[in-house]
Amino acid sequence: MSVIPRLRFAPSPTGLLHIGGARTALFNWLYARRHGGVFVLRIEDTDTRRSSEDLVAGILSGLRWLGIDWDEGPGVNGPHGPYFQSARLENYRVAVDQLVASGHAYFCFCQPEELKERREAAQAKHAGWMYDRACLHRSDKALAQLKSAGIPHAIRFKVPKGRTRFDDVVRGSIEVDNATIDDFVILRSDGRPTYHLSVVVDDVDMAITHVVRGDDHTSNTPKHVLLYEALNAPPPKFAHVPLIFGADRKRLSKRHGATSVAEFQHMGYLPDALVNFLALLGWSPGEDREMLTRDAMVQAFTLEGVSGGNAVFDQKKLDWFNSRHIELLQADEIIDKIQPLLEESRLWREEYASVGDSRTWLASIINLLKSRATVLPDFIEYGRPFLVDEVTYEPEAVKKRLLVVGLADHVAALREAYAALEEDRFDSSSLERVLRSIADSRSIKAGVLIHATRVAMTGTTVSPSLFEMVELMGRAKTTSRLKALEQFLAEQPPLDSLS
Ligand code: GLU
């Protein structure tokens, strides 16, 4: 009988959804979807001081935005709930009682200050320190006295002698000498479980079959394996995936720039592009395949395809994926995505919302810009000149490009030539040829007219390829913008009177 795989993503809501976390969630999700399994979302919020509802909401919305849906967890519930650890404290207490009763755990009355003193004394002698089992060796009578005196106590796991081994799908076989493992605390004196206990108890209760998580948890896993054994529960398969590093080979952090899913969303990356990019951070579908739809990823995903080497976050690669995924979208889909940005920039018009000439015109602009856009706001920046009624000239652009003796005349000549072009010859190569021949006939450099036309069309000194833009702008709009420039130039003080 084959068991349905059950995987989980178990974030601690102490910060934003980091892209490392998103990648872990994605690998779990891909595996579950590949094998018709169940993907569980569990919120590890036992650290009540550092967790907050807002952070939980942020994690949920980040996952939803990425299209990583969960079969059990917050909002959908399921047979193994609740899915917030803060609501499962009783389960941990029961497990601890079981571990104490079976001799796998013991009470520890050592107070933090005493432990600190002993640790420091050992460190002063340059000796490594592990819990010295002071409480394991106390007599039953002494323990009973401490207990009845109401001294706060933690519960520690009694690490057995021997060695602990597990097979990691990514890292291979891992074995440690138990002598290197501290008798770790499983229940704190305030009744809260530690991560080691709660994660194992929940993974057992939730029947998790595969634990896929960051490599930073590899060193915790021997403790978890010991807990599984002590609880008489079969351990799941473990797969520890490489952490994500920056280009400087240091662990990805704020210093490297954006690291949270929300930031990438805000910057105008597409969820499909981010998912494609994240999937390939540490995993390879083989055959150098890179551009993958979600379905293709699900079809191809294997844990064996996850490499043990470091995954390096490459912003340029993400940009490449985003451009490619933008190109895959229909103009209509892009319009829907950029509508809020257009509204924010006051460039949105009601008539764009429904089928008609205006929307078609907007779609043709989007199609022109599609191959140039890296992120969604690029459509706003490059599209602005097309969408505004009137262009205002940036003072810098005026100073740099418009203070040329006789410019108004040259521009008028260009406007007339453009007006004389037949509508079906109003294409970028004709536009360029006409401009160059006007410049020649007037013995000026083509650059003078090119720069002035760019300011006329956009108000700035930068634009996507000028002639393509002019082509799309159309004859009427182009000639009226050139005319506006002539007027502007006529209103300026004569150049020779400028000091
Ligand atoms: N709450 C832990 C974390 O966010 C979960 C680790 C695990 O998957 O076991 O790192």
- CA–CA distance, 258 with 280 (Å, rounded to integer): 18
- CA–CA distance, 159 with 104 (Å, rounded to integer): 8
Phi-psi category of residue 147: left, alpha or beta, with phi > 0 → left and psi -120 to 50 → alpha: alpha
- Report CA torsion sign: 250, 254, 256, 261: positive
Question: CA end-to-end span of the chain, whole Å?
Answer: 91
Q: What are the catalytic residues?
A: 254
Residue 11 alpha carbon, nearest atom of ligand 1? 4
Nearest-CA residue for atom 6 of ligand 1: 10
- Residue of 199, 211, 243 to test ligand 1 pocket, by largest number of atoms within 8 Å of CB: 199
Strands 6-9 and 38-41: parallel
Helix pair 19-34, 53-66: axis angle to 10 deg: 50
Nearest alpha carbon to residue 27 among 217, 325, 302, 271: 302
Instruction: Write out the H or E segment, with its range, that includes residue 166.
Output: strand 163-168
* Cis-peptide into 82, omega within 30 deg: yes
Q: Which residues of 477-498 are buried (b: 16+ CB within 10 A; e: fewer)?
A: ebbebbeebbebbeeeeeeeee
Q: 40 has which bridge partners? A: 8, 72
Residue 24 alpha carbon, nearest atom of ligand 1? 8
Residue 211 alpha carbon, nearest atom of ligand 1? 8
* Ligand 1 centroid, distance to 46 Cα (angstroms): 12
Nearest alpha carbon to residue 197 among 98, 59, 82: 98
What pLDDT sits at residue 493? 87
C-beta separation of 338 from 299 below 8 A: no
C-beta separation of 167 from 131 below 8 A: no
Instruction: Write out the H or E segment, with its range, that includes residue 201.
Output: helix 195-205
Nearest-CA residue for atom 5 of ligand 1: 10
* Ligand 1 centroid, distance to 62 Cα (angstroms): 17
Q: What are phi and psi of 40, to 5 degrees?
A: -105, 140
CA Rg value for the chain = 33
* Ligand 1 centroid, distance to 23 Cα (angstroms): 13
- Residue of 217, 228, 251 to test ligand 1 pocket, by largest number of atoms within 8 Å of CB: 217
What pLDDT sits at residue 447? 97
Tokens matching residue 391: 């262009």
- CA–CA distance, 105 with 156 (Å, rounded to integer): 5
What pLDDT sits at residue 365? 92
* Ligand 1 centroid, distance to 179 Cα (angstroms): 25
Query: Which residue is it, tokens 């000439």?
Result: 357
C-beta separation of 17 from 62 below 8 A: yes
The fold of the 395-498 domain, in CATH, is Arc Repressor Mutant, subunit A (1.10.10)
- CA–CA distance, 41 with 194 (Å, rounded to integer): 19
- Residue of 195, 219, 251 to test ligand 1 pocket, by largest number of atoms within 8 Å of CB: 195
* Ligand 1 centroid, distance to 362 Cα (angstroms): 46
* Ligand 1 centroid, distance to 41 Cα (angstroms): 11
* Ligand 1 centroid, distance to 97 Cα (angstroms): 24
Query: Which residue is it, tokens 């229909």?
Result: 330
Residue 216 alpha carbon, nearest atom of ligand 1? 10
Helix pair 475-490, 466-473: axis angle to 10 deg: 110
pTM of the model: 0.89
Residue 9 alpha carbon, nearest atom of ligand 1? 8
Nearest-CA residue for atom 4 of ligand 1: 11
Give Cα 273 distance to the centre of its chain. Answer: 10
What would the CATH number be for the domain defined by 6-84+244-316? Answer: 3.40.50.620
Residue 8 alpha carbon, nearest atom of ligand 1? 8
Residue 44 alpha carbon, nearest atom of ligand 1? 1
CB under 8 Å to 208, separation ≥6 — which residues? 6, 7, 8, 40, 202, 236
Domain boundaries, the chain: 6-84+244-316, 88-241, 329-386, 395-498
Q: Tens of pLDDT along the chain (499 residues)?
A: 578 999 999 999 999 999 999 999 999 999 999 999 999 999 999 988 888 899 999 999 999 999 999 999 999 989 999 999 999 999 999 999 999 999 999 999 999 999 999 999 988 888 888 999 999 999 999 999 999 999 999 999 999 999 999 999 999 999 999 999 999 999 999 999 999 999 999 999 999 999 999 999 999 999 999 999 999 999 999 999 999 999 888 888 888 888 999 999 999 999 999 999 999 999 999 888 999 999 999 999 999 999 878 899 999 999 999 999 999 999 999 999 999 999 999 999 999 999 999 999 999 899 989 988 999 999 999 899 999 988 999 999 999 999 999 999 999 999 999 999 998 899 999 999 999 999 999 999 999 999 999 999 999 998 778 998 899 898 999 999 999 999 999 999 887 655 4
Q: What CATH architecture does domain 88-241 belong to? A: 3-Layer(aba) Sandwich (3.40)
Tokens matching residue 162: 């021997």
What pLDDT sits at residue 499? 46
Ligand 1 pocket, residues with Cβ under 6 angstroms: 10-12, 44, 199, 213, 217
Instruction: Write out the H or E segment, with its range, that includes residue 122.
Output: helix 112-124
* Ligand 1 centroid, distance to 213 Cα (angstroms): 7
- CA–CA distance, 239 with 172 (Å, rounded to integer): 9
Task: Spell out the long-range contacts of 416-419 with Cβ–Cβ below 8 A and sequence spacing 24 or more.
Answer: 418/475, 418/478, 418/479, 418/482, 419/475, 419/479
In this chain, the answer to whether the domains covering 6-84+244-316 and 88-241 adopt an identical fold is yes
- CA–CA distance, 235 with 201 (Å, rounded to integer): 11
Q: Is 178 exposed, middle or buried (0-12, 13-18, 19+ CB in 10 A)?
A: middle
Nearest alpha carbon to residue 402 among 475, 484, 324: 484
Tokens matching residue 54: 């807002």
